[in-house]
Chains A and B, each alone.
Chain A
């Protein structure tokens, strides 16, 4: 039944084609995992170096299946009040005030304490009712009627305890609210978790997810990605640029340039109307590609060698 909800994701070749149309070039590996996730209703844990398109994958997926993207950015100290739900305290306080004012009307004519209490009970307890619930991303994703894509970004930045909080959501697609009970997802969302591998995630969390590792792409794949993202750029320059980036990744750098940096660089070259990589151009624009001063110096030292590799 879930499959009908995400019918765009019911065959691997279709996923590859749809994603490509949306500007995301994915390998069959990525397409396979997305397909399995939709069919098995399991979250995908996406790992890989920063900037290889982990977050982008979730965004593209939401775009392709045309469902809302609910995003939860993790950080240290993130807790359930910010991830799951929160009570609207202000309104709850107001409610008690109103209740106090109305109390006379409700209890009007009641004889004795017993009857008063009974009357009070019969009005129903709305203090902890859904109306006073402020849904946060996780609960919001559960509440979507027609499916959604839930992106839990950089889960490794959140506290260890937060992972345990996620387990219920990830395996059963439900949220337990002590005052109300269990809230089942109206439709099961497609869940992406991303991690930059700054720490090991718990086994319990890993066990509930499909595991997808996205490495830096091959030259051909990256050239296709750049071509899809910056189609205006000359094909031979794209090729040259991607080769150069690959050569730079071989260096001993503090932070190797990722795909997003390659794309940024391609965009800057386009703005500069460049038609070929030469040492002057690279020298002027290297700061788009590399983010640390040491890395830039290191790359500039080897510039001629890098350019030779690129043309050869």
Chain B
């Protein structure tokens, strides 16, 4: 019994952790339950350390884990009443039903009240109020009987489905529901009744109601912290990654940055294997001997150690003119966030003229570098000039393992974009990817030269939110591994 309620709570905790960005597999959960049963629930420190070893797999996850552990299991004193409630008591709602024997006797022991309050005097005059005063809820409130109150609130919380809270704005609504389940309406009616003729008693009752409300709100907030904050964060993140990058306002930048870092970390682990440094041109003796067995020990066929592959390289060419600048910023942020696995990125920025900005990104924090790029190269777009500059700068450096990414809207103010240069870039590189922040339907409209551009790219795709960007970088990393 003790083990089952314990593991139930442990599973809740695991759910909570998952909401906080700590991925936990079912196998891990099983280990956690096993570990917890070995360690027992009595020694909080040992339980915390033991579960940490099973559930948190990196330093980052460990810090998240410890945070979550403190919130979820709280300080042992403050949460103990709740932890110890066996589920059977949950069906009982002390506000509606006659009090169970042990509870009322416990209350009676405490109830010899020294001071007779205004409320009690009023109760003497009213039959309904006398009944109300006898209800265990009010008695507990008046006597400050923490244990019974906690039991009542827990039971009501279950009835009201408080654990279903998902958004911060639902707090008021759930507090109300919890109070209703507690049978608080009776108190409210009594208060309304008293308000007109007995001011003193009314105020006393109001104070008790306020106390109850605060407790209920506490309970709801805790439920929110445990069950929803993860969901809300995820909800926000999801929204942010779907929204058009140009519409992201400065105050969301911090969150955006974190999001990019997290996506980058995910991609980095997915693709993050190191290139094997093969030894070129050495005889693989064991393999050769093994192969020679078929030919009676004569090394007829020779086996050689593998040969190194060419190091992949990415060149990003970004239009930083007004219309596209915001997108360029995020593309560059993303590319530099995956630097660990993408060995070499050279970046170029242009609007009318083009220049290499790689060094800035190596020396400055990404955001500063982006601002500097915008300031230096912002202006009206001229693709012909930009391609020409790029060809002069870097065409000879493009080799068969280079991926070239161009970010731009291909709107060239109705002048010739020199697609012959683009064709030449394509012929030299492994992949040429064109990212266009405009929706596909707008391609080719007005002064957009996008339609002919498509023929000169290996891949031309729409890219205007973080999700699409992630997909492209993912593909890029997968390609560069091959």
Write the residues of chain A forming the contact surface with B, with a CB cutoff of 8 angstroms. Answer: 12, 28-29, 32-33, 35-36, 39-40, 42, 44, 47, 76-77, 81, 86-87, 89, 92-93, 96-97, 159-161, 197, 199-200, 202-203, 206-207, 209-213
Whether B289 lies near A89 (C-beta < 8 A) is yes
11 contacts across the A-B interface (CB closer than 8 A): A28-B49, A36-B50, A39-B38, A40-B35, A40-B38, A86-B286, A96-B297, A97-B297, A203-B57, A207-B57, A209-B57
B197 at the interface (CB under 8 A from A): no
Whether A206 lies near B276 (C-beta < 8 A) is no
Q: Name the residue of chain B whose CB is nearest to the CB of A162.
A: B276
Whether B53 lies near A36 (C-beta < 8 A) is yes
Identify which of residues 284-307 in chain B touch chain A, using a CB-to-CB cut-off of 8 Å: 286, 289-290, 293, 296-297
Whether B293 lies near A210 (C-beta < 8 A) is no
Measured CB to CB, the closest approach of chain B to A37, in angstroms, equals 8
B58 at the interface (CB under 8 A from A): yes
One digit per residue, 1 when the CB lies within 8 angstroms of any chain A CB and 0 when it does not, for chain B 247-287 equals 00000000000000000000011001110110100000010
B272 in complex: contacting residue of A42, A77, A200, CB < 8 Å? A200
B25-33, B147-155, B386-394 - interface stretch = B25-33
For B46, list chain A residues within 8 Å (CB).
Answer: 12, 28, 32
Q: Name the residue of chain A whose CB is nearest to the CB of B23.
A: A203
Name which of A33, A86, A93, A211 has the most chain B CB atoms within 10 A of its CB: A211
For A209, list chain B residues within 8 Å (CB).
Answer: 57
For B62, list chain A residues within 8 Å (CB).
Answer: 211, 213
Name which of B58, B289, B290 has the most chain A CB atoms within 10 A of its CB: B58
Q: Name the residue of chain A whose CB is nearest to the CB of B272.
A: A200
Whether B277 lies near A77 (C-beta < 8 A) is yes
Q: Given contacts A89-B286, A89-B290, A159-B276, is CB(A206)–CB(B57) below 8 Å?
A: yes
Whether B274 lies near A212 (C-beta < 8 A) is no
In whole angstroms, how far apart are the Cα atoms of A200 and B58 in the complex?
9
For B53, list chain A residues within 8 Å (CB).
Answer: 32-33, 36, 44, 210-212
Q: Name the residue of chain B whose CB is nearest to the CB of A100.
A: B296
Whether B286 lies near A81 (C-beta < 8 A) is yes
Whether A213 lies near B59 (C-beta < 8 A) is yes
For A212, list chain B residues within 8 Å (CB).
Answer: 53
List the 10 shortest-distance A-B pairs measured between CB atoms, nearest first. Answer: A160-B273, A210-B53, A206-B57, A29-B49, A32-B49, A33-B53, A89-B289, A32-B50, A93-B297, A211-B57
Whether A47 lies near B59 (C-beta < 8 A) is yes
A36-B39, A200-B272 known; 14 new pairs, CB 8 Å cut-off, are A12-B46, A29-B49, A35-B50, A81-B286, A86-B286, A93-B297, A96-B297, A160-B276, A161-B273, A202-B273, A203-B269, A211-B56, A212-B53, A213-B62
One digit per residue, 1 when the CB lies within 8 angstroms of any chain A CB and 0 when it does not, for chain B 17-43 equals 000000001011001001100110000
Measured CB to CB, the closest approach of chain B to A59, in angstroms, equals 20
B421 at the interface (CB under 8 A from A): no
In whole angstroms, how far apart are the Cα atoms of A287 and B34 in the complex?
48
For A32, list chain B residues within 8 Å (CB).
Answer: 39, 46, 49-50, 53
For B273, list chain A residues within 8 Å (CB).
Answer: 160-161, 202
Q: Name the residue of chain B whose CB is nearest to the CB of A203.
A: B269
B54 at the interface (CB under 8 A from A): yes
For A42, list chain B residues within 8 Å (CB).
Answer: 31
B112 at the interface (CB under 8 A from A): no
Measured CB to CB, the closest approach of chain A to B287, in angstroms, equals 9
B45 at the interface (CB under 8 A from A): yes
A36 in complex: contacting residue of B28, B35, B277, CB < 8 Å? B35
In whole angstroms, how far apart are the Cα atoms of A87 and B286 in the complex?
9
B52 at the interface (CB under 8 A from A): yes
For B28, list chain A residues within 8 Å (CB).
Answer: 207
Measured CB to CB, the closest approach of chain B to A174, in angstroms, equals 18
For A39, list chain B residues within 8 Å (CB).
Answer: 38
Whether A211 lies near B58 (C-beta < 8 A) is yes
Name which of B28, B57, B268 has the most chain A CB atoms within 10 A of its CB: B57
Whether A96 lies near B277 (C-beta < 8 A) is no
For A40, list chain B residues within 8 Å (CB).
Answer: 31, 34-35, 38
